[in-house]
Amino acid sequence: MTKNIKITVGLIYILCLSLILYGFLIFIDVTQLNNYSYIRDKTQFLIEIRDKNLFWFSILFFLFSIIWILLLGFATPISLIAGFLFGKVYGTLISVFGFTIGCTVLYVFANQYFKNLIMERLSKKISKFKEIFNKNEFFYFMLFRFAGGGGTPFAIQNLLPVLFNMKVKNYFFSTLIGLFPMVFILCAIGSGIETIIENNIDPSLITMIQNKEILFPILGFFAVLVFSFVLRKIYFKK
């Protein structure tokens, strides 16, 4: 990859990230994030926009999810927001497909233009994963996703298959299946939070825990964490 292309990609990345940050700061007053009334009003504004045109709002959120992943963003906050805005089922579908497409596009792009750089930076640090995935790339990468990447940051998870030149089809479907359980749980938590705010219930920690729409997903979240820990011990131990 030529130096000019690297510079261009870097500038595009900085520009996109700056635009997202600028839009966030325009919409949100960070000094009011501890003010429940302020947060309720802002969320109500988004819900009103959603209700006016659900189709286009969904499309925009879907595209934003893809772009966010391309910018090496975290999946957790987007999953919570998706559940809050669209409910646990619809929010899960939007998030999982958006994340999967974003991850796949990122993987194809990185494999095409940044393979040497990734090999140089990551091959020694996570060589153990390469040995595992070469046995059955689809199955083990699906488990790897489900296990939260064995403690690996989400952005690194997306780039890891570059090390063993994973087939795009296997990457796509193993990511789609592997991300689904945790994304569903996070969307369910977001949906429960939306119910609390919509009903103007006191959002205290005790109240939220007592709410079944939040309690059960949280229990599911810890169950997945325990299961992920077991998977890491079995398949991804050092």
Q: What is the DSSP string of 50-85?
A: HHH-HHHHHHHHHHHHHHHHHTT--SHHHHHHHHHH
pLDDT tens digits along 26-36? 766 666 656 66
The candidate with the shortest Cα–Cα distance to 101, out of 147, 62, 145, is 62
pLDDT tens digits along 60-99? 999 999 999 988 888 888 998 999 899 889 999 999 999 9
Q: How far apart are CA 20 and CA 13, in angstroms?
A: 11
Q: Residue 113: CB partners within 8 Å, gap ≥ 6?
A: 1, 5, 9
Q: Is 189 helix (H, G, I), strand (E, B) or coil?
A: helix
Model confidence band, residue 22 (pLDDT cutoffs 50, 70, 90) = confident
Model confidence band, residue 232 (pLDDT cutoffs 50, 70, 90) = low
Q: How far apart are CA 214 and CA 122, in angstroms?
A: 38
Q: Are 71 and 122 in contact (CB under 8 A)?
A: no
The per-residue pLDDT for 21 is 74
Q: How far apart are CA 150 and CA 237, in angstroms?
A: 9
Q: For the chain, what is the domain count? A: 1
Q: How far apart are CA 109 and CA 103, in angstroms?
A: 10
| 3-state class percentages of the chain: helix first, strand second, coil last, to nearest 5 | 85, 0, 15
DSSP string, 151-171: G--HHHHHHGGGGGT--HHHH
The per-residue pLDDT for 74 is 87
The per-residue pLDDT for 58 is 93
CA angle 187, 18, 6 (to 5 degrees): 105
Q: How far apart are CA 202 and CA 238, in angstroms?
A: 45
Q: Are 184 and 88 in contact (CB under 8 A)?
A: yes
Mean pLDDT rounded to a whole number for the chain: 80
Structural tokens at position 209: 């825990």
Q: pTM of this prediction?
A: 0.82
The mean pLDDT value for 130-153 works out to 80
Structural domain of residue 80, as residue ranges?
Answer: 3-26+35-235
The candidate with the shortest Cα–Cα distance to 183, out of 82, 105, 85, is 82
Model confidence band, residue 126 (pLDDT cutoffs 50, 70, 90) = low
In this predicted structure, the answer to whether residue 230 has a pLDDT above a threshold of 70 is yes
